């Protein structure tokens, strides 16, 4: 398998595991109706379904009202140009097409599924899609080779009455045009005046130059270069799509064309642009080197000869990444919401202009965190938004929708744009961004040294490697160096140059120091010095926790090879509890993030302990960027029926009332009252202003069983339980935890330690 990029943050096995488990693939179907009763069945199918059938038979557009068509896009490919891998067949494209469907849902709440067509014949492909195309509200063509992709898209646009969009062409065109608009603004140049050179006359290149012309670049100021040289007017043996962009020019090579040019757009291959070519360009040159995985010229090489250049690439490890995910989800969101008949030039230009305008807005802190803490401000290093900007969902689609309305392709115009923007703000799943924000905050904070106690385990080595590659901190693997390196090599990982540290307890220079320190701590608790020496030498939890206690590391992860209680007992002999220790599980479900406490520490908490659990949970949730609203759950609803456990919950509420805490809380109540404000009409005295997001359970068994039941049923993703309250952040994963679970635990450990350090 070819290397995808030298900045890859995962191994091949990680990628296969991700796609294989726990369920093969990346998408599934979820019904939007309950289907819980015989009446539901009768309405959904026979006989009730006959009513919308007859309505649609009378007016085909009614399908938008009575089916999922209005929010459904098909991602269709024949696999003739998969990523940078070439023609690998239609089935090989399926993981990519599923991935595109996931992005549609994640970024714009557009439902999507993939279709792989087994033909390389353009006419046959068109026939297949034409005959099934009315199923969806839009079609996203993907990974179809040039020039057939032009012909296929053009024919389908004429044959179908829905948006047809080839993202490899137009997604790149939209983002690069947005970048060009802003780069010209920064460089003090006008679109109609700049001289633009394109190297790479494939689908993306020709579409990009076409959209740039639609945005204002003049045709006579452009030069296109393919592998045979400049595409000039009258050049023999060029296809109709290249011929449409041919100009009268004396230039015959890329080097000649770039002399005095203001802009070069690279969509060709590594090394196509040289330093000498860049040096020959006009003042304040604009260089978009977008070949992947390696650009036509690196930003370092550009800046070595032109310090005044404005640079964009297709890579995430440089500023100004041209990433198609900035365009296609939001373009289709706007198109679907007005039931557009097509995606036209006006809509694409509007999308590009909106992206350019958003980059000129003040950047919120959560966006800056995604760039490792660097405060983003419109300028040469920030000309297009970052893909994780939460404003994209409500900022871009209204511009697209308005362009569709103004150009006459909208079936259902939007009357109130302000209300539409408000609906878009509510549409995106807030739980999806939790880990992104936490990871971004860890990158932004000072580097944290995280000890992976079971460093010889292959899964732990892979997690530490991914942690370092993602620039989340410095991993320290505890174990025998020879075995760690052997297991890393067998996993296909080479971390010699990454700065991953290995600590062997027996060989540590601080072995005696650590033994003396821990013996002083434990000598009056029944331990002899030889016992402590053995603990430091032979037990990695003791050694790892001592590294944290003595300031050699910031936090630790353990639990892969031993159960939670055993690992916690060992860590507790080394580290103290600050105030109250709890276990907090995170449930990521559609539309909400819930925190459940206490899921691992207090078996049968009394009233005072329940109150303290609530305080600690609320404090932790606030550190995670959420406003806590605490519900004390019970089988009882405000005293009915009575019982001993319910009385302890009521007493916890009274204790919080006396304490005067700074967060919302209420109880005792069942889950439906906590999570659904509409169910509270019989209880007007309730103090929660919205749905609860922190659920305090009456006992550990109810907490553990409920979270595991939800996870087993597939109703939510469960993270944790996270261990909160020790003097140093320690996360204990479950026995045999996956690489992803270990990585998540390490990220939370670094995050919690960073938050604690910030308080000091």
Question: Token pair of 20, please?
Answer: 């294989």
Q: How many alpha carbons fall within 13 Å on the CB side of residue 745? A: 28
Q: Enumerate the β-bridge partners of residue 503.
A: 478
Collapse the DSSP code of 646 into the 3-class scheme (helix H, G, I; strand E, B; otherwise coil) and give the result.
Answer: helix
CA angle, residues 330, 442, 326, in degrees to nearest 5: 15
Q: Which residue has the tokens 């490890």?
A: 317
List for the chain the helix, strand, coil content (%; round to 5): 45, 15, 40
Q: Please give the Cα distance from 383 to 180 (Å, whole number).
A: 8
Active site residue 100: yes
On the 0-12 / 13-18 / 19+ scale of CB atoms within 10 A, 629 is: buried
Are 274 and 297 in contact by the 8 Å Cβ rule? The answer is yes
Task: Record the tokens describing residue 55, joined without a space.
Answer: 């309505």
Q: Are 88 and 115 in contact (CB under 8 A)?
A: no
Among residues 45, 275, 377, 590, which one is catalytic?
Answer: 45
Give Cβ neighbours of residue 356 (< 8 Å, ≥ 6 apart).
178, 179, 181, 182, 185, 383, 384
Helix, strand or coil, per DSSP, at residue 446: coil
Question: Is residue 441 a contact partner of residue 526, using CB atoms and an 8 Å limit?
Answer: no
Counting every residue, how long is the chain? 760
195 is catalytic: no
Please report which helix (H) or strand (E) contains residue 111, including its range. Answer: strand 111-116
Q: Which residues touch 624 (CB under 8 Å, ≥6 apart)?
A: 434, 438, 751
SS3 290: coil
Cα–Cα distance, 158 to 148 (Å, whole number): 16
- Centre a 10 Å sphere on the Cβ of residue 703 and count the other Cβ atoms it contains: 26
Which residue in 100, 105, 189, 623 is the catalytic one?
100
User: Which residues lie below 8 Å from residue 134, measured CB to CB, with a gap of 6+?
Assistant: 60, 63, 160, 161, 162
Tell me the catalytic residues: 45, 100
């Amino acid at each position: 398998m070819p290397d995808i990029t030298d900045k890859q943050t995962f191994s091949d096995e990680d990628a296969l595991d991700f796609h294989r488990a726990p369920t093969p693939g990346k998408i599934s179907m979820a019904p939007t109706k309950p289907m819980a009763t015989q009446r539901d069945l009768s309405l959904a199918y026979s006989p009730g379904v006959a009513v919308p059938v007859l309505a649609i038979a009378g007016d085909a557009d009614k399908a938008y009202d009575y089916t999922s068509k209005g929010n459904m896009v098909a991602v269709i490919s024949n696999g003739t140009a998969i990523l940078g891998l070439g023609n690998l067949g239609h089935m090989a494209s399926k993981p990519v097409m599923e991935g595109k469907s996931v992005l549609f849902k994640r970024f714009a709440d557009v439902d999507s599924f993939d279709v792989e067509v087994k033909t390389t014949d353009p006419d046959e492909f068109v026939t297949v899609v034409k005959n099934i195309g009315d199923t969806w509200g839009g079609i996203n063509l993907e990974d179809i080779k040039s020039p057939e992709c032009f012909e296929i898209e053009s024919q389908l646009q004429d044959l179908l009455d829905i948006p047809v969009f080839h993202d490899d062409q137009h997604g790149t065109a939209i983002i690069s045009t947005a970048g060009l608009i802003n780069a010209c603004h920064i460089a003090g140049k006008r679109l109609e005046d700049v001289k633009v050179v394109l190297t790479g006359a494939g689908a993306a290149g020709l579409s990009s130059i076409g959209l740039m012309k639609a945005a204002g670049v003049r045709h006579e100021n452009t030069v296109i270069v393919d592998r045979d040289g400049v595409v000039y007017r009258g050049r023999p043996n060029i296809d109709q799509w290249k011929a449409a962009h041919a100009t009268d020019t004396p230039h015959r090579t890329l080097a000649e064309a770039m002399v005095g040019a203001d802009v070069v757009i690279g969509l060709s291959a590594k090394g196509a642009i040289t330093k000498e070519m860049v040096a020959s360009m006009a003042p304040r040159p604009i260089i978009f080197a977008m070949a992947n995985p390696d650009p036509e010229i690196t930003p370092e090489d550009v800046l070595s000869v032109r310090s005044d250049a404005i640079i964009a690439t297709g890579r995430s490890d440089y500023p100004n990444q041209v990433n198609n995910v900035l365009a296609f989800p939001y373009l289709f969101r706007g198109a679907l919401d007005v039931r557009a008949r097509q995606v036209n030039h006006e809509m694409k230009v509007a999308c590009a202009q909106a992206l350019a305008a958003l980059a000129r807005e003040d950047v919120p802190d959560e966006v800056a965190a995604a760039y490792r803490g660097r405060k983003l401000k419109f300028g040469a290093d920030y000309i297009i938004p970052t893909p994780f900007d939460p404003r994209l969902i409500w900022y871009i689609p209204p511009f697209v929708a308005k362009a569709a309305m103004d150009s006459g392709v909208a079936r259902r115009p939007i009357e109130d744009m302000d209300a539409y923007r408000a609906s878009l703000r509510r549409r995106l799943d807030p739980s999806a961004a939790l880990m992104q924000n936490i990871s971004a905050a860890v990158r932004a904070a000072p580097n944290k040294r995280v000890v992976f106690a079971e460093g010889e385990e292959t899964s732990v080595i892979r997690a530490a490697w991914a942690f370092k590659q993602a620039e989340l901190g410095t991993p320290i693997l505890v174990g025998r160096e020879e075995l760690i390196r052997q297991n890393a090599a067998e996993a296909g990982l080479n971390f010699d140059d990454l700065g991953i540290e290995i600590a062997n307890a027996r060989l540590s220079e601080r072995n005696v120091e650590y033994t003396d320190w821990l013996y002083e701590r434990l000598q009056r608790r029944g331990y002899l010095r030889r016992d402590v020496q053995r603990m430091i030498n032979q037990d990695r939890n003791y050694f790892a926790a001592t590294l944290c206690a003595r300031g050699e590391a910031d936090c630790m992860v353990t639990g892969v090879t031993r159960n939670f209680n055993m690992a916690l007992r060992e860590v507790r002999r080394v580290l103290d509890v600050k105030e109250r220790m709890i276990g907090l599980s995170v449930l990521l479900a559609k539309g909400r993030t819930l925190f459940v406490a206490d899921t691992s520490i207090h078996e049968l908490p009394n009233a005072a302990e329940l109150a303290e659990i609530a305080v600690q949970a609320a404090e932790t949730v606030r550190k995670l960027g959420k406003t806590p609203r605490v519900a004390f759950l019970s089988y009882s609803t405000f005293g009915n029926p009575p019982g001993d456990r319910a009385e302890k919950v009521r007493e916890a509420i009274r204790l919080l009332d006396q304490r005067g805490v700074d967060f919302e809380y209420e109880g005792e109540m069942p889950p439906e009252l906590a999570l659904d404000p509409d169910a509270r009409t019989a209880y007007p005295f309730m103090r929660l202003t919205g749905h609860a997001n922190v659920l305090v359970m009456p006992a550990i068994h109810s907490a553990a069983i409920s979270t595991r039941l939800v996870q087993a049923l597939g109703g939510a993703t469960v993270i944790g339980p996270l261990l909160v309250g020790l003097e140093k952040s320690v996360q204990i994963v479950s026995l045999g935890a996956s690489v992803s679970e270990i990585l998540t635990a390490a990220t939370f450990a670094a995050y919690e330690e960073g938050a604690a350090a910030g308080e000091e």
